[in-house]
Amino acid sequence: MVEKIFFTVTVCLRFFSDYNKEQAPFSLSVPSHADGFVFFRGDDRYRLYINDRGVFFYGLPTTVNQWNSVCVTWDSETGLAQFWVNGVPSARKAIQAGKSVAGTPSIMLGQDQDTYAGGFDRYDAFYGHVTDVHMWDSVLSPDEIKSYMQCVVPRPGNVVDWNNLEYTKHGYVVVEPKQTQICP
């Protein structure tokens, strides 16, 4: 991937896990920030990091042993970030207003990066299934996010497009055809 400057970001994905500890389904690092744009999900909360600064989001409806749809947005101009989980929006919170995530991104699914493109900690690994990962360099509208929550990808991600993904597997990773029973 080439050098990028992100002033706005939306990441959407679906995950299934029977594990309720804090884990990172999506991680983007840049040379200057290991946690360029990373989110964790845990027992009762989600946590978003932008340029190594974090903020918590509480009270979102994540269910173990079921598919969960998640989108997270961030706009540098206002600094406002928001999660949507299974159709429920979080409160919007300010983080890194006026900043950008800049550099050559290293994107990992299922593993936090404690250093640029590395520094893996097995305790941060995601245990479960991930699918339909898309990333845009814009903030999707609430209507577009609602469509994603209903299993309709409004438009393929222009940074990460799950249907045209080039990837390298590390560790124990199984790639298999998409299951049909993902959305209600």
- Closest of 20, 18, 24 to residue 36, by C-alpha: 24
- Closest of 34, 69, 74 to residue 55, by C-alpha: 74
- Closest of 79, 86, 97 to residue 41, by C-alpha: 86
Q: In this structure, what are the phi and psi dihedrals at residue 176, rounded to the nearest 5 degrees?
A: -140, 165
Q: Whats the size of the chain, residue-wise?
A: 184
Kindly give, in sequence order, each residue whose CB lies less than 8 Å from that of residue 57, ignoring residues fewer than 6 positions away: 45, 46, 47, 48, 83, 90, 91, 93
Residue with tokens 């550099």: 103
Angstrom CA distances, 25 to 56, 153, 179, stand at 16, 19, 18
Predicted local confidence at residue 144, as pLDDT: 98
What residues does each domain of the chain span?
Answer: 4-164
**H-assigned helices in 38-168:** 142-149
Predicted local confidence at residue 184, as pLDDT: 57
pLDDT, averaged per 10 consecutive residues of the chain (184 residues), comes to: 94 93 94 96 92 97 92 98 97 98 96 86 85 97 97 94 88 77 68
d(CA 161, CA 163): 5
Q: What is the pTM of this model?
A: 0.94
Q: How many CB atoms lie within 10 A of CB 58?
A: 9
Q: Under a CB-based contact definition with an 8 Å cutoff, are residues 77 and 23 in contact? A: no
Q: Under a CB-based contact definition with an 8 Å cutoff, are residues 92 and 79 in contact? A: no
Q: In this structure, what are the phi and psi dihedrals at residue 37, rounded to the nearest 5 degrees?
A: -150, 100
Predicted local confidence at residue 183, as pLDDT: 72
Q: How many helices (H) and strands (E) does the chain have?
A: 1, 14
User: Is the domain covering 4-164 a CATH 3.40.50.300 domain?
Assistant: no
